[in-house]
Structure 1
Amino acid sequence: MKLYLAFLFCFAALLLPGGELPDRAALFALPGWAPAPGYESSGNETIRGIFYDGLPYRGKPTRVFAWYGVPAGAKGKLPAIILVHGGGGTAFRYWARLWVERGYAVLAMDTTGGVPRNNGESGSDGSIHHPQGGPGLGRVFRDTGLPPQEQWPYHAIGAVIRANTLLRSFPEIDPERIGVTGISWGAVVGETAVSLDSRFKFAAMVYGCGFLGRNSSWKKTEFAKMPPELVERWVRLWDPSSYLAGDKVPILFCNGVSDKHFRPDSWWSTCRLVKPELRYTALRVRMGHAHPPSGDPPEVAAFADAAVRGGKPLPRIVSQTPKSVVYDAPVPLKRAELNYTEDSGDWTKQRWKIVPARIDREKQIVTAEIPPAAAAWYFNIIDERGCIASGEIEEKK
């Protein structure tokens, strides 16, 4: 108990930039929980709905809905993963089922104060607000002038950190083998959560990034409607760029090079905040933006298995020049590619081409001649599992 209180004290002493975060100890408090009526497990499936205590909202207690499941017949302490959905999503039962089948205990929560509209059985399912839920994602920008504890990101981040504390209290869970994966807005929330909560063993973040005020789909929409001081406040309070420099958790970042919401310049700036030894990157050409299966590239499961189940680590780019990369690949490479575009300007409208690159397996170097018309380019290496590691984007000077 003394160690736990000391842990909470250390986090309570850390304030958000600007010192505006309410009592941080509340984020890490052990939440109460109870079964969610009407969301019981069915058949031989071990996944069931629960409610756990969220953070107070406008002076009232809140509850967070989540699917919780463990592999059938599992013995011994289990690895666990927390699943954080993206915008328009909810707690997805089908996503929880996917990870239970991979051998993990799973907690997949609804971060928008609701419950699944259609039992979370498809990526198109949405959230119905619950009377005891907190604020919804639709208020993510409009409430920026309110106290932090009345804003959606605070409650979403709290739901992730409290989920970690809750899982660590379950006797079937190994508290040293808990990770988190987030998709889109779930990744924005997750990147901040793991920067605050170093108890996580790994984090896999798909699409979502920081520097949203610099370049994102919201720069010319939501941010354009806000006074500059509120834009600055939102970035200071909730943008992952305000936190990731202090990250101590290994993070995998996945994205598509033409993603319309999270642009590659902002995405790479986000990745660079994390220490190189903790950072893995996978940047695809022609990657859709959606919940699983699109939002569950093969790197995520491989990264999780390497962190908590003794699996082989992902490949990694160690260093690079404009015409080459040096790599490390615990699983042999299947191929290497140079991805390039002849377009400039808006990242979302650029057309990318893929050409083979040369692999020197003895020196662990990948090289390619850069097409004269290329305006920007980067290398991908792909191992025999189909897992990608990406170099940084180079641009013609």
Structure 2
Amino acid sequence: MKKLIFFVVLSIQFVYAQKKSVPVIDDKVIKVDTLLWDLKTLSKAPEIEWINKTGNVYSLFYKGVDYNGKPTQVFAYYSNPDLILGKPQSKTKFPGVVLLHGGGGKAFKEWVEKWAAEGYAAIAMDFSGKQDDVKAYTMPGPEQGDLDKFQKLETGSDFKNMWTYQAVANAILAHSLLLSFPEVEISKTCLTGISWGGYLTCLVGSLDNRFKAAAPVYGCAFYDESDIFKVPLEKLSPAVRKKWTKYFDPSSYLAYAKPQFLFVNGNKDRFYNVVPYDKTYKLIPEAQRSMCLIPNMNHGHEAGWEPHEIRYFFESVIDHAPSLPKVKQIVQKDSVLNVSYSSPVSIWTADFYYSNDTTSLNETRVWSSKKVQIDPKTKTLFCPVPKEGFKYGFFYLKDHRNISASSEFIIK
């Protein structure tokens, strides 16, 4: 009899856990005249079908938004700190993270493993509908090429059949699903994405205010000013290009974002160049944004998930852990740049990177650097202005945790 009661209670607890209340996105703060996404509907956890629930990373399908009037399924990987250790599910609650891949990518199992090992319940989904390690992918959405991202709008395609609409909606659904899991701490979910996934992070982080922190890597707004992405946009008629920008460029939404943002990029990225990148982060209030410009950072999925600054940033937001260093103010006095900074850990090294190259593409621009004097007592950096001057510049700092941060770009 006692055993029966125990199993009844356990069953009730299980059912209750599965009916965990998921918070609803507050769409009233997004003050655009037409909002494509039904954020209240997307706030509901989607139906799921587990493909594999063995090993340290599970795989599943969840129901996506309709595409061309037909239902879709989205493939995803999921893990958490218990699973990664091969332990039975505990009563511990974990922070969560949603992982958005870039162009030509997929749901990366390794990325989920990394975040689960670092203490997070992590989900990564596939935006292409062609996950090569899944055989039974019968209801995919749009593909990742320029046709589905740009050109179909010229032919009168419904906005909701465009890749960006589908990817944003399915990323928000993944967050809703994550929030429905009993082991996930509702008040501690974060978002990061790489390249096109960074672009999506700007959009999703602006629309889904249930996230507490977001870290777009490379990706930014103002696609019409990108060395690369302005090319397919310029193939559209002016009216259609204007529509694409209105509905699908992050510049239309970032001003309404609520999470704390960490912007991670290199100074020579091929796809996301200095000027539009600078304009992008300035759409977020200064107190709400942090910077990590990494000199000569490579562009790629592995390079994009490598910076451990992202995890330190998330923990500073959701757990009030020590923050990243932060450049506060840059003032030029005579021929010296004086930089005030804050940091919970003393600064180890500081450099000033600068360039006068205004004719090269972003990825081939020539940069120089010089060491910077650090005054730990006043928390000030001192750097003589280069004799040749500079058009673009930024300060790059590392503390004694080997955690880096930077100033914003200085553009003259």
Q: TM-score, normalization: structure 1?
A: 0.89
Structure 2 residue aligned with 1:153: 164
Tell me the amino acid that sits aligned with residue 110 of structure 1: D
Q: Does residue 381 of structure 2 align to residue 360 of structure 1?
A: no
Partner Cα separation in structure 1 for residue 151 and residue 128 of structure 2: 15
The number of residue pairs the alignment matches comes to 376
Partner Cα separation in structure 2 for residue 16 and residue 362 of structure 1: 45
Structure 1 residue aligned with 2:109: 93
Tell me the amino acid that sits aligned with residue 247 of structure 1: A
Tell me the amino acid that sits aligned with residue 266 of structure 1: P
Report if aligned partners of 2:217, 2:304 keep a CA contact under 8 Å in 1.
no
Report if aligned partners of 1:289, 1:295 keep a CA contact under 8 Å in 2.
no
Partner Cα separation in structure 2 for residue 207 and residue 26 of structure 1: 30
How big is the shift at 1:48?
Answer: 0.9
After TM superposition, the structure 1 = structure 2 runs for residues 11-26 of structure 1, keeping only pairs within 5 Å, are 11=27, 17-19=32-34, 21=36, 23-26=38-41
Correspondent of 1:144 among 141, 144, 153: 153
How big is the shift at 1:252?
Answer: 0.5
After TM superposition, the structure 1 = structure 2 runs for residues 253-272 of structure 1, keeping only pairs within 5 Å, are 253-272=263-282
Report if aligned partners of 2:312, 2:324 keep a CA contact under 8 Å in 1.
yes
Segments of 5+ residues of structure 2 without an aligned counterpart are 1-20
Report if aligned partners of 1:26, 1:55 keep a CA contact under 8 Å in 2.
no
Partner Cα separation in structure 2 for residue 159 and residue 105 of structure 1: 18
Correspondent of 2:325 among 298, 315, 326: 315
How big is the shift at 1:321?
Answer: 2.2
Q: TM-score, normalization: structure 2?
A: 0.86
Correspondent of 1:382 among 380, 398, 409: 398
After TM superposition, the structure 1 = structure 2 runs for residues 140-219 of structure 1, keeping only pairs within 5 Å, are 140-145=149-154, 146-219=157-230
> Is the helix fraction higher in 1 or 2?
2
Q: Percent identity?
A: 31
Segments of 5+ residues of structure 1 without an aligned counterpart are 120-127
Report if aligned partners of 1:325, 1:365 keep a CA contact under 8 Å in 2.
yes
Aligned CA distance change for structure 1 residues 386 and 201 (closer, same or farther; 3 Å) = same
Q: Secondary structure of 2:301's partner?
A: coil
Q: Does residue 359 of structure 2 align to residue 345 of structure 1?
A: yes
Structure 2 residue aligned with 1:134: 141
Partner Cα separation in structure 2 for residue 370 and residue 244 of structure 1: 33
Q: Secondary structure of 2:36's partner?
A: coil
Partner Cα separation in structure 2 for residue 15 and residue 75 of structure 1: 36
Partner Cα separation in structure 2 for residue 223 and residue 96 of structure 1: 33
Q: Secondary structure of 1:29's partner?
A: coil
Aligned CA distance change for structure 1 residues 114 and 26 (closer, same or farther; 3 Å) = farther
Partner Cα separation in structure 1 for residue 91 and residue 320 of structure 2: 17
Tell me the amino acid that sits aligned with residue 97 of structure 2: I
How big is the shift at 1:367?
Answer: 1.6
Report if aligned partners of 1:317, 1:328 keep a CA contact under 8 Å in 2.
yes
Report if aligned partners of 1:65, 1:114 keep a CA contact under 8 Å in 2.
no
Correspondent of 1:102 among 97, 106, 118: 118
Aligned CA distance change for structure 1 residues 229 and 324 (closer, same or farther; 3 Å) = farther
How big is the shift at 1:30?
Answer: 2.1
Report if aligned partners of 1:81, 1:178 keep a CA contact under 8 Å in 2.
yes
Structure 1 residue aligned with 2:46: 31
1:359-395 CA-to-partner distances (Å, cap 9, x unmatched) read 1212211120121224322211211222222223334
Aligned CA distance change for structure 1 residues 349 and 5 (closer, same or farther; 3 Å) = closer
The farther-off stretch of 315-324 and 252-261 is: 315-324
